[in-house]
Amino acid sequence: MFNDSQATFPETKFHVGRWLGPAIDVGSALTYKLLKNNGQVVQRSTIRHLTLEELTNTDQIAMCKAFNDDIVQKIGAPATKSNFNADYLTPTYDHYENDHQEGTPDAPPEDEVPIPEIGDNHLNMEIMFHRSGILVMGRVTERKRDHKGNTLGTSETPI
């Protein structure tokens, strides 16, 4: 259902349409391409799906069937696999179980220590500090390390 702004009172503003995807070249990020029953594609940002009550309502079901019939009359029948060359279709493959083989690592070795920056709340923090008597802004980009590459201090205590 989409809002057709050209409808006037007492006509309903919401009409049945088919969602075709986002309209990346028109409007905001929440603007969508919709197919109207006359075969015209329009862009709208006010749309909604059919509610559960509407999906079971006989009047709404008749409106959806009329919409589908109008589309078939204006555009033609929907395409099927037989309408395309088999070379251009996406291949389907059988699902298979995980065939894990010995010697192929799934995870890093347990003796490998994660980098200490993980969970460090001070990394990428913007701070103000004094430099030559002037207050300047900076960003914490890394932890201080010794000559062997080990980190100095912790994130809770200053170095």
Helix (H, G, I), strand (E, B) or coil at 55: helix
> Which residue type occupies 36?
K
Nearest residue to 122 (alpha-carbon basis) of 157, 92, 150? 157
Tokens of 121: 């709340």
- Domain boundary, last residue among 22, 50, 74: 74
Provide the domain count of the chain: 2
Identify the pLDDT of residue 79.
86
| Domain of residue 58, residue span | 2-74
Taking the C-alpha atoms of residue 31 and residue 20, their distance in angstroms, rounded to an integer, is 11
Q: What does the pLDDT profile of the chain (159 residues) look like in tens digits?
A: 666 666 567 666 777 888 888 998 887 888 999 888 888 898 888 888 888 888 888 988 998 899 889 989 988 888 888 888 888 888 888 877 766 666 666 666 666 666 656 667 777 788 888 888 888 888 888 777 788 877 777 656 554
User: Does residue 124 sit within a domain?
Assistant: yes
User: Does residue 22 sit within a domain?
Assistant: yes
Is the Cβ–Cβ distance between 76 and 83 less than 8 Å?
no
Terminal Cα distance for the chain, rounded:
61
Identify the pLDDT of residue 4.
65
- Domain boundary, last residue among 14, 41, 74: 74
Q: Tell me the Cα Rg of the chain.
A: 30
Is the Cβ–Cβ distance between 140 and 123 less than 8 Å?
yes
Is the Cβ–Cβ distance between 4 and 46 less than 8 Å?
no
15 burial (CB, 10 Å; 0-12 / 13-18 / 19+) is middle
* 121 and 69 within one domain: no
Identify the pLDDT of residue 119.
64
